[in-house]
Amino acid sequence: ELKVEQNPLFLSMQEGKNYTIYCNYSTTSDRLYWYRQDPGKSLESLFVLLSNGAVKQEGRLMASLDTKARLSTLHITAAVHDLSATYFCAVVYGGSQGNLIFGKGTKLSVKP
Amino acid sequence: DAGITQSPRYKITETGRQVTLMCHQTWSHSYMFWYRQDLGHGLRLIYYSAAADITDKGEVPDGYVVSRSKTENFPLTLESATRSQTSVYFCASGPGTPSYNEQFFGPGTRLTVL
């Protein structure tokens, strides 16, 4: 059974600081997704990582994937308040092309 | 407009009643999904469908029924609602190709079972 663990689950940081969110998963997978969810809203796709060593960047966020270590990171550079949200990673489950198993999410709060 | 929609957005019902949540997508995606989101559990897959007339169970299917007679619609029915089914329900769709499984989420339905 695939398990996806994120840490930390809660993160309070100051504007301008850097931090990394980690996503570990328990079985082999070469595809990983990051989503953002604002309070009371739906999930918005941030990054699609499709191979070992993949790195994607959008603004102050950068995601990477190491399939050998079964680890993805979401790095936040010089955080701003607008990045406050919950971030989920999700991993493809087994051979089924459609299934994603989600982590429990990291709730990020960026304070002035 | 293209996209994925859910209805109703909010629903209050009573224990034992049947409730159907609707999901409609205009992208002609082959895959559609139903998730529930609960505090402390993240998102859990209830059912998914790879194509019209093909459905399969996810992690938490008990108490739910789905159908998919048309590619664009994927209704979720709670046959006899229970309080434990109070949750936010998200529908999603995706192309489901081997190299690209990205899922696109609807706005969600907040269901309260009294």
If you average pLDDT over residues A25-47, what whole number do you get?
90
Q: In whole angstroms, give the CA distance from residue A36 to residue A56.
A: 15
Selecting from B42, B100, B104 the residue whose C-beta is nearest the C-beta of A102 gives B42
In the block, which residue shows the tokens 């957005």?
Answer: B9
Classified as helix, coil or strand, A83 is helix
Looking up tokens 């489950």 gives A93
A56 CB within 8 Å of a chain B CB: no
pLDDT band at A65 (very low <50, low <70, confident <90, very high): very high
Across chain B, which has 114 residues, the per-10-residue mean pLDDT values are: 90 97 94 92 90 90 96 97 97 77 90 97
CA-nearest residue to B107 within chain A is A42
Asked if residue A45 has pLDDT above 60, the reply is yes
Which percentage of chain A shows pLDDT scores above 70? 96
Are the beta carbons of B90 and A99 separated by less than 8 Å? no
Contact B63, B48 (CB under 8 A): no
- Rounded Cα distance, A80 and A6, in Å: 21
Query: Looking at this protein, which amino acid is placed at residue A103?
Result: G
Instruction: Count CB-CB contacts under 10 A for residue A42.
Output: 20
Q: Which pLDDT score, from 0 to 100, does residue B101 have?
A: 67
Residue A53's pLDDT is: 86
Contact between B45 and A99 using a beta-carbon 8 Å cutoff: yes
Number of A–B residue contacts, CB under 8 Å: 57
| Cβ contacts of A84 within 8 Å, gap of 6 or more | A108, A109, A110
Residues of chain B with pLDDT > 70, as a percent, come to 94
**What is the predicted pLDDT for the residue at B8?**
97
CA dist B96 and B104 (Å) reads: 11
Q: Over the range B87-113, which residues count as b (16 or more CB within 10 Å of their CB) and which as e?
A: bbbbbbbbbbeeeebbbbbbebbebeb
Q: Check: CB of residue A9 under 8 Å from CB of residue A107.
A: yes
Distance (Å) of CA B64 to CA A106, B18, B44, B82: 28, 10, 13, 11
Quick one: which of A52, A46, A15 has its CA closest to A33? Answer: A46
> Which residue, among B49, B85, B74, has the nearest Cα to A98 in the 3D structure?
B49
Residue A36 has a pLDDT of 97
Of the pLDDT bands very low, low, confident and very high (cuts 50, 70, 90), residue A100 is: confident
Mutation for testing the B interface, residue in A99, A101, A104, A107 having most B CBs under 10 Å: A99
Q: Is A28 on the interface with B (CB under 8 A)?
A: no
Residue contact A97–B101, C-beta within 8 A: yes
Chain B residues lying within 8 Å of A23, measured CB to CB: none
pLDDT at B95: 83
Distance (Å, rounded) from C-alpha B81 to C-alpha B32? 22
State the pLDDT confidence band at A31, using cuts at 50, 70 and 90. Answer: confident
Q: Please give the residue of chain B at the shortest CA–CA distance from A102.
A: B43
Does A78 score more than 60 pLDDT? yes
Q: Residue A29: which pLDDT band, with cuts at 50, 70 and 90? A: confident
pLDDT mean over A67-85: 95
User: What pLDDT is stored for residue B2 in this prediction?
Assistant: 67
Whether residue A40 has pLDDT greater than 60 = yes
Q: Is A31 on the interface with B (CB under 8 A)?
A: yes
